[in-house]
Amino acid sequence: MELALNEEQQMIQDTARSFAESELAPAAADVDSGKGRDAMLANLRKLAELGFMGLNVSAEYGGSEAGVVSFSVAISEIAKACASTAVTMSVTNMVAEVIQAVANEEQKQKYIPKICSGEYAAGGFCLTEASAGSDPAGMRASAIRDGDDFILNGSKLYITSAEYAGVFVVWAVTDKEAKKGKGISCFLVEADTPGMIIAPAEHKMGQHGSATNEVIFDNCRIPATALMGELNQGFKIAVGELAGGRIGIGSLALGVATAAMDYARAYVLEREQFGQAIANFQGIQWMMSDAYTDLEAARLLLMNASYLKEKGLPFGKQAAMAKLFATEKANEVCYNALQLLGGAGYLKDHPLERYARDVRITSIYEGTSQVQKIIIARELLAEAAAQQ
């Protein structure tokens, strides 16, 4: 693979960086404080206009056809300025991709252009439940056929952008007698469908600008035409899309951690103790050296996973490795960057405390670090068994 970005990928990275610096960074603190929701929604629309809500989506449906590598580098640049915006962009791209991959032509034509154009501020990915987080096959939400409709009941937790999503991809059990994970189907549910209730936003440690809600289905009637893909074959759709989502979250973590260390690096050049800049001390230099080495390794792992997905090659193990390494190291880097500022890093006068709060969730959502290790180990053992 080519490690350098090509001309188009470089242009997308530059565009994302410019937009992040000019539009997102000035509003990031307000978004974090809860005052900047309108500004964030406006910026989501601008990102759509730039083509960033369908980076790996066909132009036939309004996408950019820029590919997975471009998606990864764009997410990282956006996350440097605002993690809340970046996670919304990541999930919305994932929703557009799953519709493109699985839906019928009528569904594609109906929903993807609205996502890519910004007519829908975001897309919702409704998979997680109280008893089905790391084990999504254990979901209990159900969809029962009733004539020409399905009736949805149950609830989904921690749904990103639920307050302003235009369409939701929803998984539910359609065959309760089937083996675990085998009787699950996937549906497209439009916002404001009667019986779908969006609970108040959760109060989170970080990423405050990104709404996270419980979505409740109370005898929610949807047409049978809302079924996406084959009946009872929805679980494999979820598993496949989560692998791609891990590239997005790993890229987000990389962006946040890079911003944190870049800020700390500038700070240590100015901060003086014992009559000199603290950047002159070997201990400080080693902390920075370790951090930037880890960030570069994370970038290369993410690029490799992105490249494999873009080429249509197996990428699940590599995506899990990239997500595991990038998010764990990003947490370390953000805390070390805060440490480099000393007491100042703990104050809201500097963005380090926000970076540390925003990055923490990245090693949890789209599959915890522990789940990534399970996935990696399974792949490694399967490869070894196949060679025997």
Q: Is the pLDDT of residue 2 over 80?
A: no
Q: Which fold has domain 236-387?
A: Butyryl-CoA Dehydrogenase, subunit A; domain 3 (1.20.140)
What class, spelled out in words, does domain 125-233 have in CATH?
A: mainly beta
| 239 pLDDT above the threshold of 90 | no
Question: What residue spans in the chain does CATH classification 1.10.540.10 cover?
Answer: 7-120
Long-range CB contact pairs, 301-305, < 8 A, 24+: 301/250, 301/325, 301/326, 302/72, 302/247, 302/250, 302/251, 302/254, 302/326, 303/1, 303/3, 303/69, 303/72, 304/1, 305/246, 305/247, 305/250
CATH number of the domain located at residue range(s) 7-120 in this protein: 1.10.540.10
pLDDT band at 85 (very low <50, low <70, confident <90, very high): very high
CATH 2.40.110.10 location in the chain: 125-233
Task: Tell me the pLDDT tens digit for each residue of 271-319.
Answer: 999 999 999 999 999 999 999 999 999 999 999 999 999 999 999 999 9
Q: Which residues of 350-365 are buried (b: 16+ CB within 10 A; e: fewer)?
A: bbbbbbbbbbbbbbbb
Residue 241's pLDDT is what? Answer: 81
**Active site amino acids:** 366
Query: Residue 238: what pLDDT?
Result: 82
- Check pLDDT > 80 for residue 1: no
